[in-house]
């Protein structure tokens, strides 16, 4: 089974940034309220993700590293309306097959924390008592230490860290109710407190992306036909210099979608005669049955049941909001 894990790992684990996404999603699925990330050398030497979520029982710990061990889906109906972020039961198995992994956890009721460790595919997982507050810590060391061919594809520390940080930004922008921190080589890069009020959310966006974005951003909040859109769009004065500050979330997950991009660009061009690089952070909420997010584990794709409806809704919402502030 470990060999299968290594093959499967190629799908999910290409670089430290993917690991951060998977492990933070696990922490979110565990109802955590604080998530701390430590990285060393771009995340290749070490990634440590610590949460204060519901933890893992001793009995489930060893199992958590085996393939298709998911606690999140039990029926086909669940798969239809996936509420949790992870549901394939592959991430931990894949990651542990290409690194030195330690998973430490304690449930709130347990007297004692437990730790399971694994090194690549050759070793059986080892279970031992440990010290840990309620919650979970996953430590991933020496990524691809046993797969030189894959290690070769890693870039410089700086590049790997910038991918990792991009993952972090998307996650932190997807859950304002969660406190996040990110450290690299011991240095605090981001420290984010939970943000409920709009002003606090705007502070989070500014500190994660660019303080100037908020100076020129138009706030959008609108609802129609069961669709809800909230977020911020930058005006051309700012957007011109930002080719890639485009964040779009569908039911809390970041997506890249042509139809979405088109609707936004079109509205932007219509109102402001400028369609090049609108900067935006936008959140679309709709009935989970109207959208398929189960397309690919790593590509940020969606399939809307009614693309036309979504396109027109976005276009109108953006058009209205931009027209109000047209210079
Ligand atoms: P999936 O998330 O698809 O279920 P994973 O391999 O990512 O698969 O995780 C396997 C299982 O380990 C999860 O279903 C969950 O029960 C448990 N688990 C992993 N990480 C955490 C965490 N941070 N807190 C609590 N449980 C976790
Ligand atoms: Mg998962």
pLDDT for position 238:
66
**How far does the centroid of ligand 1 lie from the alpha carbon of residue 188, in Å?**
27
Tell me, using a 6 A CB cutoff, whether residue 251 lines ligand 1. no
244: which DSSP letter?
T
Tell me, using a 6 A CB cutoff, whether residue 67 lines ligand 1. no
253, 293 contact by CB (below 8 A): yes
Query: Which strands sit side by side in the sheet containing 126-130, from one edge to the other?
Result: 126-130, 113-119, 100-106, 135-141, 46-51, 34-40, 179-184, 187-192
The SS3 call for residue 310 is helix
* Ligand that lies nearest to the alpha carbon of residue 64, given by its number in the listed order: 1
Tell me, using a 6 A CB cutoff, whether residue 297 lines ligand 1. no
Listed in sequence order, the residues at least 6 apart from 3 whose beta carbon sits closer than 8 Å to its beta carbon are 121
| Residue-wise pLDDT tens digits, 42-95 | 999 999 999 999 999 999 997 888 765 555 545 545 444 444 554 456 889 889
Provide the CB-side half-sphere exposure for 250 (13 A, CA): 22
Tell me, using a 6 A CB cutoff, whether residue 279 lines ligand 1. no
Specify burial of residue 2 (Cβ count, 10 A radius: 0-12, 13-18, 19+). Answer: middle
Tell me, using a 6 A CB cutoff, whether residue 26 lines ligand 1. yes
Protein residue closest via CA to atom 1 of ligand 1: 89
Ranges in the chain, pLDDT < 50: 1, 73, 76, 78-83, 86-87
**How far does the centroid of ligand 1 lie from the alpha carbon of residue 173, in Å?**
22
Listed in sequence order, the residues at least 6 apart from 236 whose beta carbon sits closer than 8 Å to its beta carbon are 272, 274, 278
Protein residue closest via CA to atom 17 of ligand 1: 64
Cα distance between residue 314 and residue 308, in whole Å: 10
146, 98 contact by CB (below 8 A): yes
**How far does the centroid of ligand 2 lie from the alpha carbon of residue 191, in Å?**
24
DSSP 39-54: EEGGGTSEEEEEE-SS
Cα distance between residue 109 and residue 114, in whole Å: 13
Show the tokens assigned to 106: 């304690």
Relative to the CA of 136, which ligand 1 atom is closest? 23
Relative to the CA of 92, which ligand 1 atom is closest? 6
Show the tokens assigned to 55: 């933890």
Which residue in 279, 303, 19, 269 sits closest to 167, CA to CA?
19
Tell me, using a 6 A CB cutoff, whether residue 116 lines ligand 1. no
Quote the pTM value.
Answer: 0.90
Which residue in 278, 301, 180 sits closest to 220, CA to CA?
278
pLDDT for position 87:
45
pLDDT for position 27:
97
Rg of the chain over Cα atoms, rounded to whole angstroms, equals 21
Protein residue closest via CA to atom 21 of ligand 1: 26
Domain architecture of the chain: domains with CATH = 2-192 (3.30.565.10), 210-325 (3.30.230.10)
**How far does the centroid of ligand 2 lie from the alpha carbon of residue 63, in Å?**
13
pLDDT for position 124:
74
Tell me, using a 6 A CB cutoff, whether residue 53 lines ligand 1. yes
Relative to the CA of 54, which ligand 1 atom is closest? 25
Q: In the chain, what is the greatest distance between 2 CA atoms, to the nearest angstrom?
A: 65
Q: Which of 12, 20, 61, 64 to mutate to test the pocket of ligand 1 (most atoms within 8 A of CB)?
A: 64
């Amino acid at each position: 089974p470990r060999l299968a894990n290594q093959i499967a790992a190629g799908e999910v684990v290409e670089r430290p940034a993917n690991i951060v996404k998977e492990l933070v999603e696990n922490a979110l699925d565990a109802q955590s309220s604080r998530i701390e990330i430590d990285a060393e050398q771009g995340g290749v030497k070490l990634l440590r993700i610590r949460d204060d979520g519901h933890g893992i029982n001793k009995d489930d710990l060893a199992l958590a590293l085996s393939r298709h061990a998911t606690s999140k889906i039990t029926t086909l109906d669940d798969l239809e309306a996936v509420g949790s972020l992870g549901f394939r039961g592959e991430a931990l198995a894949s990651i542990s097959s290409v690194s030195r992994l330690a998973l430490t956890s304690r449930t709130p009721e347990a007297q004692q924390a437990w730790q399971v460790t694994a090194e690549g595919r050759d070793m059986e997982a080892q279970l031992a008592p440990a010290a840990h507050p309620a919650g979970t810590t996953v430590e991933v060391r020496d990524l691809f230490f046993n797969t030189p061919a894959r290690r070769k594809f890693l870039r410089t520390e700086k590049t790997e860290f910038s991918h990792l940080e991009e993952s972090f930004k998307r996650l932190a922008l997807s859950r304002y109710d969660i406190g996040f921190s990110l450290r690299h080589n011991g240095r605090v890069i981001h420290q984010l407190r939970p943000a409920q009020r709009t002003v606090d959310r705007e502070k989070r966006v500014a500190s994660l992306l660019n303080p100037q974005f908020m100076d020129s951003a138009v706030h959008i909040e609108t609802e129609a036909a069961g669709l809800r859109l909230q977020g911020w769009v930058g005006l051309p004065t700012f957007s011109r210099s930002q080719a890639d500050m485009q964040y779009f979330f569908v039911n809390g997950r970041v997506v890249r979608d042509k139809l979405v991009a088109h609707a936004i660009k079109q509205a932007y061009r219509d109102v402001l005669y400028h369609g090049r690089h609108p900067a935006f952070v936008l959140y679309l909420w709709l009935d989970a049955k109207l959208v398929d997010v189960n397309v690919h584990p790593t590509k940020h794709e969606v399939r809307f049941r009614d693309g036309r409806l979504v396109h027109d809704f976005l276009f109108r919402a953006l058009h209205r909001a931009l027209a109000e502030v047209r210079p």
